[in-house]
Chains A and B, each alone.
Chain A
Amino acid sequence: MLKIKNLHVAIDGAEILRGLSLDIPAGEVHAVMGPNGSGKSTLSHAIAGRDAYEVTAGSAKLDGENLLALDPNERAAKGLFLSFQHPMEIPGVATMNFIRTALNAQRRARGQEEMSSADFLRLIRDKARLVGLSDEKLKRPFNVGFSGGEKKRMEMLQMAIFEPRFAIMDETDSGLDIDALKMVGDVVNALRGPGRGFLVITHYQRLLEHIRPDRVHVLAGGRIVKSGGPELAEELERSGYDQYTEAA
């Protein structure tokens, strides 16, 4: 499914990712854990196609297709979703209109029919209940006046609506309380299945209690320094990242 090989990424000429490789087969959930500044967010932004993140070497393919040659919206249409660590407020943009426009842009790009207003309304109401966002919140301009937790719920709402083939969740757990963590777990576990993959980027093990990963990778100094099963996350929780930062 998602194959990243020897990825080098620089921002303003400074190399952040230094030969990162990851292979996440369809149907699996992988976690990437690492200390601050190890390159976790750089990884998510580079895969999603943010301009300022310059890929200087390596490849990233989704089902054999070279993602790096595509515009961010083309990557989205291929089924790539990024749940942002810091979702922004977009004043003046009506939430439902934005999500519907985005959904239909993806559908058009895939040669599918656009979704009608009525079908969309049913869908968003249904998913909003799942992530715990009220109708009133959906009527606001996008994320305006939302708490950190509500913004994360809005990310999960979109993930549930778009049903991406591959989702990168960039520190979705940060700033969430226990109920919200459980909600994130529910959304992921409902989508989880053959033909779909997840990359969960996190500092802590606590989200992984709700989303049991198939593999855990430690990112330090811009590359994967250790991989293992779910028990690796527990070990990190106990012993911290020091040994890896020193090694990197």
Chain B
Amino acid sequence: MGQTLLINPTAMEAGLLASAEARGRSPAFDAFAKTGLPHRRLEAWKWTDVRGAMRAALPEAASGAEVIAPSSFSAVDAFEITVMNGAAEWSGAPPQGVAVELAKSGEALSPLAADHPLGSLAAAFANNTLNISITGGVARPIHLRRIAGAGASYSRVRIKLADGASATLIESFDGAGAYFANSLTEAAIGANAKLTRDILQDGSDEGVETALFAASLGAGAAFHQTALLLGGKLIRMETRLALEGAGASADFKSASILSGARHADLTTHIAHQSTGCATRQIHKSALRDRARGVFQGKFLVARGAQKTDAEMQAKALLLSDTAEANHKPELEIYADDVQCAHGSTAGAIDEEALFYMRQRGLDEHQARALLIEAFLADVFDGAERINIAEVMRQRMHAWLEKAA
């Protein structure tokens, strides 16, 4: 156990090991220690080298430190839970049907997260677990407002949606300075329940953030995820779903808009395990300067998961010669009566359309901004949750102001 760390650990890993010894080694830490911080020689991490991005030791972030970051969602009426440097806090009563509590950590990892080095690390180092349980239809969104200050921080959240429950979870990921924020969220979505997850991530140029969200879905359950990533030094937003019940469905819409030397990785793994499950996924990225956008999407269709209907699309718009898009769409199918498709494209801005718009009077910046916006538009087309989509659109416009 822990051989990799022991053989040739980086300063960061040596620090993690020392910290684990001080806490008392846990099974979760030992699971992490099998690989250490994931690095580019691991297939699933070849474009997102966490170890390489954080060789120097980074001390744990001071808990309770105030990090000032204005909330992008202040205009949205939501029940806000702040997770600052890994510590969860909230004030006021949660909406009807929502129960929130902090528990001592230590529960075993859910099977979906068990083999994940960073999920394991978050479970090992999170000081406690935030439990959110939801029954019935909850209209008011729950906002998990994750803020990272300098240093390393870990958090773990467990969400349970009872059969037939529905809720919207907003997750914002902000950070300042040099940080490593590592979070694990495990969710169990009951039969005919629906969870809508809206992600807005904007890190710092020195910030590393890795988030694993792992959920199981019961029969007829639905999961909708919309994500806007603005990246950081190294960002990995990973979602793993097990569609366990018949007729469960998932819908993913995401965009990475990256400039400078920023990096963002959107990785999803959807296991279709029962009959009649459906997944729709679209990922778009607009990349400029030396930015790198990573998309890894995998659909697994288990034996017996007949009538699976799954479609994945990834499109990158390269706005400079030095930007890089890495796409890995994957299908792994063990059932014969299924419809699965994937597509992946990368291209530059359409020069002919650009000229057309300039001929009509738009300057180059305006024309580019409009074309990039048009490229990204369908990611935010969710007619439901108009105010949340509007926040994301505003963020995109602010980026386009500078980046187009």
Contacts and interface: CB of A to CB of B under 8 A. Distances in A.
Contact of A48 (B350, B359, B370, B377): B359
Interface stretch (B191-199, B338-346, B361-369): B361-369
Residue among B350, B357, B378 with the highest chain A CB neighbour number at 10 A: B357
B283 to A, nearest CB: 16
Contacts of B370: 93, 98, 101
- Dominant SS at the B interface? helix
Given A50-B355, A98-B357, A102-B357, A71 B363 contact: yes
Given A73-B358, A76-B358, A102-B361, A88 B353 contact: yes
Given A91-B374, A92-B374, A101-B366, A72 B353 contact: no
A71 B364 contact: yes
A123 interface: no
A87 interface: yes
Contact of A102 (B350, B355, B360, B378): B360
B230 to A, nearest CB: 20
A105 interface: yes
Interface string A198-209: 000000000000
A241 interface: no
Interface in A36-61: 48-52
Contacts of B357: 90, 98, 102
Contacts of B351: 51-52
A101 B358 CA distance: 11
B354 to A, nearest CB: 9
A106 B366 CA distance: 12
B371 interface: yes
A88 B366 CA distance: 18
Contacts of A88: 350, 352-353, 356
B205 interface: no
A151 to B, nearest CB: 11
A72 B357 CA distance: 9
Given A51-B351, A73-B363, A98-B370, A92 B358 contact: no
Nearest to A89: B353
B174 to A, nearest CB: 28
Nearest to B373: A92
Given A51-B351, A90-B353, A77 B373 contact: no
Interface of A: 48-52, 71-73, 75-77, 81-82, 84, 87-88, 90-93, 98-99, 101-103, 105-106, 109, 141, 158, 162
29 contacts: A48-B355, A48-B359, A49-B358, A49-B359, A50-B355, A71-B363, A73-B358, A73-B359, A73-B360, A73-B361, A73-B367, A76-B358, A76-B359, A76-B360, A77-B361, A82-B359, A84-B359, A88-B352, A90-B357, A93-B371, A93-B374, A98-B360, A99-B360, A101-B366, A102-B360, A105-B361, A109-B361, A141-B374, A162-B360
Interface of B: 350-353, 355-364, 366-367, 370-371, 373-378
